[in-house]
Structure 1
């Protein structure tokens, strides 16, 4: 997240050349994919844990 914030800040402040911008956008896209995967995995784990707790409560 910190790296994404850094990239966005540099883009907002126009601190890079167009060639660098293309690379930074690609890096940001890859970081966002990784973050999304982490969030999806975490959501799945939380849902499984809650389902497990619901199963215990029903017993």
Structure 2
């Protein structure tokens, strides 16, 4: 990939792949490739969500510490 993948782009691509598979628009020759790509995108999205959750939790904790110091 030439540019960095974003959560939104990965999620959109996942939706497209799911739609193609559901509509049987994917040939048998490409099915394994599409499923492999979907698996990679799911893992990417899960990691992004976990990292974002951790960051938000850290911000909230810091806000609580700062509030307690006042």
TM-score tier by shorter-chain length is over 0.9
Q: TM-score, normalised by structure 2?
A: 0.80
Structure 1: state its 5+ residue gaps.
none
Runs of 4+ in 1 over 6 A off after TM superposition: none
Q: CA RMSD in A?
A: 0.7
Q: How many residues align?
A: 59
Q: Under a length normalisation based on structure 1, what TM-score does the superposition of the two structures give?
A: 0.94
Unpaired runs of at least 5, structure 2: 1-10
The corresponding residue for 2:33 is 23
